[in-house]
Amino acid sequence: MLTNQRMIPHAIRRLRRGIGLGTALVLGSCLGATGCGRAPAKAPPAPPTPVTVSYPVEREVTDYADFTSRIAAVESVEVRAHVWGYLEKVNFKEGALVKEGDVLFELDPRPYRAALDQATARVRLDEAQLRFDEAEYERSLALARRGALSRSDLDRSVAARDKDRANVEADKALVASYELNLDYTKVRAPVGGRVSRYLVTVGNLVQSGDQGGGTLLTTIVSVDPMYAYFDVDEGTIQRARRSVRRDITRPDGERVWPVSLGLATEEGFLHRGTINFVDNQVNAKTGTLRVRGVFPNKDEALSPGFFARVRMPVGLPHRALLVSDRALDNDQGQRVLYALNEKDEVVSRLVRVGALHDGLRAIEGGLTPGERVIVDGLQQVRPGVTVAPKLVAMPTSESGARAAGPVTPPEPGRVARRPAAAEDGGPR
């Protein structure tokens, strides 16, 4: 009886195990039948890649070339004394602006004043002698007319009178020379400009400029305007001259060739000037031609000796298509732009690029006016794919792809323009 009671739970456990295995087999068969009867679901299509596009900018531009220049003063003078003497006064502050004619130094005038007084007295002495000899000549002439005086005595009287006249003229010239020497004891500024420090202090002997070059007292450089000298290569010079020959709108005598200048601490080319000198021959050693520009300098931003960047136009103004540098890609050494057709499909354009103008690159060939150019998202596109374009104003290389307000599509045959404010700056 006890044996049968022990066997009952064991049988119940076996029965439960069998029911669970059957249930699993039935469920597996149902799932297998269901899977074989239905196709797998397809992935949804990927949305078009969003990109930023802009219309090319059409503007009148001028090709240019950049050079390194050295700024120099229009007038630079070494101040030296015309006469020798001991320095008595210095009448200027070092580094100050002086005007032409200002008295900078004063030498001891006493030796020259004494010499002038002596020459002046000599003039009075000779004038008195001249008056006496002229009276003698008049008396001799009256006696000669009456036959009471020989011809030889009359000639002697004429010679004495003429000698006195010559002596008076020589004395007056000597007085003028001594007056000039006395005036030279005050050393004046020969030009207006900024004066350097004085190189001789009070009490020292100053040698005149005629004696071995003389003593250098100080230097003066003019302030406004300023020169900028730079060397231009042969190719650029020839290209510029071809443009000049094609410019028949103005005679050669009225043509003004503009040039722009920027200092090392300035962005862009803020100073505007003109070219006023081109050398007459190319340097055979460097293959360059020396050119000089003149620039106004009322604010004294330019100083002699500064290095500067110079931008010189090398052609006549012409219409050009401009795009941002960030829109350009490389394909086996060639420059490429990605444009969109009417279906918003990407089209590759091999282009020929030109100079940079205000952060935009000139496209000289390969781009049709009115095409939308991809300016942001180039890494995510390839020719033939469809994209979702977002139209913005053409960004410059410095500003990046930022929308500058609403952009209207250009009329057929025309190209979108940037706002006028965005086109300012740089040479035209």
Residue 130: pLDDT above 80?
A: yes
Residue 58 C-beta-side C-alpha neighbours within 13 Å: 13
Residue 120 C-beta-side C-alpha neighbours within 13 Å: 8
Residue 219: pLDDT above 60?
A: yes
Any bridge partners for residue 204, and if so which?
none
Whether residue 247 contacts residue 255, with contact meaning beta carbons closer than 8 Å, is answered with yes
Strand 387-391, strand 49-54: pairing = parallel
DSSP H/E element including 54: strand 49-54
Angle at 383 between CA 382 and CA 387, to 5 degrees: 70
| DSSP 8-state secondary structure symbol assigned to residue 415 | -
Lowest mean per-residue pLDDT among 32-41, 220-229, 283-292: 32-41
Between helices 110-146 and 151-184, what is the axis angle to 10°?
Answer: 160
pLDDT in tens, 38-84: 556 666 777 888 888 888 888 888 888 889 999 999 999 999 999 99
Query: Phi-psi bin for 376: left (phi > 0), alpha (psi -120 to 50), beta?
Result: beta
What pLDDT does residue 144 have?
84
Average pLDDT, the chain: 80
Measured between alpha carbons, how far is 376 from 70 in angstroms, rounded to an integer? 40
What pLDDT does residue 201 have?
92
Measured between alpha carbons, how far is 182 from 178 in angstroms, rounded to an integer? 6
Strand 216-221, strand 193-195: pairing = antiparallel
Average pLDDT estimate for 381-387: 85
What pLDDT does residue 171 have?
92
Query: Which amino acid, residue 406?
Result: P
Tokens of 49: 């890649």
Residue 105: pLDDT above 90?
A: yes
DSSP per-residue codes, 93-114: -TT-EE-TT-EEEEE--HHHHH
Whether residue 61 contacts residue 357, with contact meaning beta carbons closer than 8 Å, is answered with yes
DSSP per-residue codes, 239-300: HHHHHHHH--SS-GGG---EEEEEETTSSS--EEEEEEEE-SS-BTTTTEEEEEEEE--TT-
- What is the length of the chain? 428
Lowest mean per-residue pLDDT among 182-186, 280-284, 357-361: 357-361
Lowest mean per-residue pLDDT among 41-45, 71-75, 262-266, 350-354: 41-45
10-14, 302-306, 360-364 — which one is most confidently predicted on average?
Answer: 302-306
Question: Using DSSP, how many helices (H) and how many strands (E) does the chain show?
Answer: 4, 23
What pLDDT does residue 332 have?
83
DSSP H/E element including 216: strand 216-221
